[in-house]
Structure 1
Amino acid sequence: MPRSLAPEAPQALHLARLAQGSPGQWVRLPGSGLQVLELAGTLTGPAVTGYLLCLSGEAVVDLPLSNFVRLRPAEGYRVQAQSPWTAFATKEGTVLLLSPEQS
């Protein structure tokens, strides 16, 4: 009786590499609302409420009223749809993940 082949092992999705394929553009992860981005220049953030997470590098997020947040790897900040924000990288290869809240 022939032996059945073992199924192929699942492959992990490397988020930083996915973002680096399209610098400066949000890339939506298949089947989810998550988006990743490699920062290239200054980015005006989308008007969504959710968490902005730094996967690599370092970014400064400018907020209203002259406030800002510095994000380093594994740090996050909750952005709000009614509060505009911009971000820029302070280190090369900065990748952000945006996880919008489900309504």
Structure 2
Amino acid sequence: MSSPLPVPATTRQFIAGPAGQIEVLVDTPAAAPIGVAVVAHPHPSQGGNAEHKIPQLLARILQAHGFLALRPNYRGVGQSEGEYDEGNGETEDVLAVIRYAQSANAGLPLALAG
């Protein structure tokens, strides 16, 4: 029988986004990361947020395989600033997190999940 996945060490940080601060949950691997993954959450109208079970499980799996997982809350969700924007602004938020991930982790592969 396989061992359960370890519970990731999760921290919360804020990055600048087009509609204000974006709340990002960061799941850090035990060793130096082999890559960075941005994990998107389900639609907010369906109860989606960065702590939803699906992005949380994806982040745990990625973290267990050595990835630094970033789980942003879209604008107006959790502690992220702004208001729901029919998907357009939320796309801008994810792109802002991707740009941040690439600049803060230059040279590491980037994965998108969600």
Asked if Structure 1 and Structure 2 have the same fold, meaning a TM-score greater than 0.5 normalized by the shorter chain, the answer is no
TM-score norm. by structure 2 comes to 0.30
- More strand per residue: 1 or 2? 1
Quick check: which has more Rg, 1 or 2?
A: 1
TM-score norm. by structure 1 comes to 0.32
- More helix per residue: 1 or 2? 2
